[in-house]
Amino acid sequence: MTYRVDILPAAQQMVREISDRRVQEKILERMTALANDPELQGKPLDDDLAGYRSIRAVGQRYRIVYRVERSNVTVVVVAAGIRKDGSRDDIYRVAAKLIRLGLL
């Protein structure tokens, strides 16, 4: 089954802020690849990001955070960025904060 991929404006902005165009293109390619079997790709997240999934992109360094809406046959990409464990700029911390604030 093919899903429609929606990239939220916050995720689009995160990708635009990456300075390397090649990295941007690879992340966008990975996002569009989520249209095919998104639940078999990536891993489910927990805690503040329960209900969301994460997939690696561009040499394991970047992560794409998304959720699958089966009823709408849609993949919603909510965030994309670098995994920096322990940093306040870590993509998981940023995504959790946006969700907590109701911005996603």
| Residues 40-93: tens digit of each pLDDT | 998 999 988 999 999 999 878 899 999 999 999 999 999 999 988 878 888 999
- Of the candidates 9, 59, 66, the one whose C-alpha atom is nearest the C-alpha of residue 33 is 66
pTM metric for this prediction: 0.91
pLDDT band at 8 (very low <50, low <70, confident <90, very high): very high
Tell me, what's the pLDDT at 102? 81
Domains of the chain in start order, with CATH, are 4-100 (3.30.2310.20)
Contact 94, 64 (CB under 8 A): no
Beta pairing class for 74-82 and 4-7 = parallel
